[in-house]
Structure 1
Amino acid sequence: MVLEREMEEEDEDEEEAMLKKAEEKAEEGESNSNSNDASSWSRKMMVEETARRLKSGDLRAKIEAARDVRKLVRKSSSSNSKSAVRGRFASAGAIEPLVSMLHSSMPLAAREAALLALLNLAARNQRNKIKIVAAGAVPPLVELLKNLTGNLRELAAAAILSLSSIPSNKPTISASGAAPLLVQILCSGSVQGKVDSITALYYLSTCEEGPKLALDAKAVPPLIDLLKESKKYSKFAEKTTFLLEIFSASEEGRTAITGVEGGILALVETIEDGSLVSMSHAVGALLSLCQSCRDKYRELILKEGAIPGLLRLTAEGTPTAQDRARTLLDMLRDSPPEERLTSSELERIVYNFAANVDGKDKAVETAKKLLQGMVQKSMDLSLSRTKLRTSPRASTKT
């Protein structure tokens, strides 16, 4: 539970950063006056007055009220006061009229003001995110994703990101047709738009209800390009490698990964420098390539110098990553004579790795243990294959 809470807090920090970026792209029409002196009572009165104007029939008043929602949240002096203001706006019934302002019948100024207001109300507030989806925000947001105006389209992507972080919202958003439009932004949007799209696609790909999200392999090149530029141990790299591992399970995805210059190298570098999570996804993607067709992908992986990172992973990774790394090492060694990594080459690589990890004094002992583990893994795999071939079920197949 502690780890889950830490991950939740990291996601909330990312959401705050996303909101800040979205705000920077919006027009800054408000004054810089500080509202710290406002009492809790006066803030409550301002929230109720703003919500009342949102419900009015005057479009100009509604637009100004939507902008005031954003101001009141932003100018709150602390995280607690921001949270209180967000909750008060929801209690005052502000969400429904803001969602109604997102529809295509509204002018762009109204849709942008409402979108920014909803982004501010959703940040770090799970209840508001659920209420926004329940109020019917997803269809107009998907329409905004089709908008050719870059700012509105990318604000809508940021909103989809925020709303899809809640498990109960994921089925609705997954079924809305948002994913192909997010892939389009990933391919042609700004850097921030691409980052937001990746995070939104990551959230939607972890939806446990309904069919698996179908993703277009066109997303692979920008995914790899962003992985190359990112810190391999970052939360962003974890999300990117998660998606690349998904793509590695399909022929179209594998072709796309190997078709990008430096695609396999980016995964190898992640194994070397990534977090435990991103390393596991990266080795999972490479293993999926090799398992689909060893003759096709083994040499490509070997050429990028994957062995040292895989050896490190067998010693330092999570249990799942260690198992994947050992399996991949076995597949890389099990190759035709002209491609085979010789025993002396392997021993040298293992020894150099062990010396870097434990020092020269203990290198021989560490290297011996690593090699023994690899041999044992190879024997286990060979035994399981033999059992499978000689089982009664296998022998009865025609």
Structure 2
Amino acid sequence: MGEGENAEIETEIETETESETSSASASSTWNLAKHTHIIHLSEKLANGNLSSKIEAAREIRRMVRKSSSSSSSSSKTRAKLAAAGVIQPLVFMLSSSNIDARHSSLLALLNLAARNERNKVKIVAEGAMPPLVELLKIQNSSSIRELAAAAILTLSAAAPNKPIIAASGATPLLVQILKSGSVQGKVDAVTALHNLSSSTENSIELLDASAVFPLINLLKECKKYSKFAEKATAILEILSNSEEGRTAITVADGGILTLVETVEDGSLVSTEHAVGTLLSLCLSCRDKYRELILKEGAIPGLLRLTVDGTAEAQDRARVLLDLLRDSPPEKRLTSSVLEKIVYDIAERVDGVDKAAETAKQLLQDMVQRSMEHSMKCIQHRAASCTPSVISYT
């Protein structure tokens, strides 16, 4: 290799090194400028007048949104803003008598909380829940009320926040949004209620039976296999554990029918919750609920579920089928009708070639479980009798 070629290579190396140094210098300058800007915003929030605080809150939202094109940059921006102390003054602004201050701080906090667990926890720890609950009560501004619901949804995703939010009095107000909010507001309210109820030991005490009617109406309108339906049916299953909840499901227009339709058309998750709800009704009082469930044509969907549901859904469906079959003779399905239903289900699941075998197995399983159930009833009655009452003749 000649000296000229060596010189060219050295020149290229020098050029690349200069470019890297220039890029690092520019990045350092940009980071310093951004850090200075964040400190300036924090100072404006802490010491500025109301107009300056509103402007700073809006700039924080813009800054986070602008950095969202890069997940790493977005995460760093949220962390640096929180470290600069912007969260506490933004939470204070939620209680301002100025609607613009509340609105701008709410949007800033929403953006700071998104995809950042630490910020979620810090926002609640700084006392955000009382003012957020007050914002949920506002009737003359649906936009800020639903923004507050969105904020509670975001904050409820962090496990440490859930007991605090559950105790804040937010849940009845979220139910109100279920009844009268926009489509997005209703979706946010259902998701927030699901977050809270699915992680609370006393979830039945958290929820009110008044949530049943709007949940049933929303379940009617949505796709039964959607994530929304999964959350709605999960809440309904919890509500079915109380007498008030069960009564509301029965009284709701199309309540049981909607659950039966979800068993037929839902995802693995929503069918599991829907059959769990129906089973809860029937276990509480078979005489009261069995005929109502049979009337809505639940048998085919339940039979299908015994084959292709989750393990939990299969067990629930089998138990419910046993309860539904244990009815007065004049109200039972005839054997031929039951066999035809089972065969149709088996044919759809396993095809024509294996349908007969699958149907036979399903019927044998149902008969076996029915016999086991009857034997347990006999043993229970025998155990409850005193020796003097049992007849040996």
TM exceeds 0.5?
Answer: yes
Partner of 1:25: none
- Pick the aligned partner of 1:113 from 71, 81, 104: 104
Could you report, residue by residue, the CA deviation over 1:153-181 in whole angstroms, capped at 9, with x for unpaired residues? Answer: 11111111111111111111111111111
User: Out of 250, 268, 279, which is 2:271 matched to?
Assistant: 279
Q: How has the CA–CA distance of structure 1 residues 144 and 266 changed in structure 2, closer, same or farther, with 3 Å as cutoff?
A: same
Quote the residue 1:290 is aligned against: 282
Unpaired segments ≥5 residues, structure 1:
1-37
The corresponding residue for 2:10 is none
Of 235, 251, 262, the match for 2:254: 262
The secondary structure found in structure 2 opposite 1:165 is coil
Q: 1:171 aligns with which of 160, 163, 175?
A: 163
Work out the CA distance in 2 between the residues paired with 1:308 and 1:215. 31
Paired letter, 1:144: L
**Deviation string, structure 1 residues 240-274 (Cα, Å, up to 9, x no partner):** 00111112122221222122222212211211222
1:171 touches 1:210 (CA, 8 Å); kept in 2? no
**Which residue in the other structure is 2:126 paired with?**
135
1:5 aligns with none
Greater alpha carbon shift after TM alignment, 301-310 vs 155-164:
301-310
Higher RCO structure (Cα 8 Å, ≥6 apart): 1
Asked if structure 1 preserves the Cα contact closer than 8 Å seen for 2:279 and 2:316, the reply is: yes
Query: Structure 1 residue 238 and structure 2 residue 230: aligned?
Result: yes
**Structure with the higher helix share, 1 or 2:** 2
Of 305, 329, 338 in structure 2, the residue corresponding to residue 313 of structure 1 is: 305
- How much has 1:215 moved relative to structure 2? 2.0
Q: Could you tell me the percent identity over the aligned residues?
A: 65
Q: 1:249 aligns with which of 241, 249, 268?
A: 241
CA contact (8 A) 2:216 2:258 kept: yes
Please give the alpha-carbon distance, in whole angstroms, between the structure 2 residues aligned to 1:87 and 1:214: 33
| Alpha-carbon distance in structure 1 between the residues aligned to 2:296 and 2:122 | 49
Deviation at 1:209, TM superposition (A): 5.4
| Higher CA-based Rg | 2
TM-score, normalised via structure 1 length: 0.85
Structure 2 equivalent of residue 157 of structure 1: 149
User: 2:33 aligned to 38, 42, 62, which one?
Assistant: 42
The one-letter code of the counterpart of 2:292 is: L
Residue deviations 1:294-328 (CA, integer Å, cap 9, x gap): 22222221222211111111111222111110011
Amino acid at match of 1:57: G
**What is the number of residues matched between the two proteins?**
358
In the other structure, the counterpart of 1:322 is: 314
Deviation at 1:45, TM superposition (A): 3.1
- The 1:90–1:339 alpha-carbon spacing in structure 2 relative to 1, beyond 3 Å, is same
Q: In the TM superposition, what whole-angstrom CA distance separates every residue of 1:174-207 from its partner, at most 9, and x where no partner exists?
A: 1111111111111121121111111111111123
Task: Name the CA distance, whole Å, in 2 between partners of 1:228 and 1:384.
Answer: 38
Indicate the SS of the match to 1:55. Answer: helix
Query: Is residue 166–residue 206 contact of structure 2 (8 Å, CA) maintained in 1?
Result: no
Q: Does 1:390 align with 2:377?
A: no
**Partner Cα distance (1:274, 1:220) in 2:** 19
- 1:386: how far off? 3.1
**C-alpha displacement at 1:94, in angstroms?**
0.8
Alpha carbons of 1:213 and 1:125: their partners in 2 closer, same or farther (altered >3 Å)?
farther
Does 1:378 pair with 2:370?
A: yes
- C-alpha contact (below 8 Å) 1:217/1:253 kept by paired residues: yes
How has the CA–CA distance of structure 1 residues 46 and 379 changed in structure 2, closer, same or farther, with 3 Å as cutoff?
A: farther
Alpha-carbon distance change, 244 to 395 in structure 1, aligned in 2, over 3 angstroms: farther
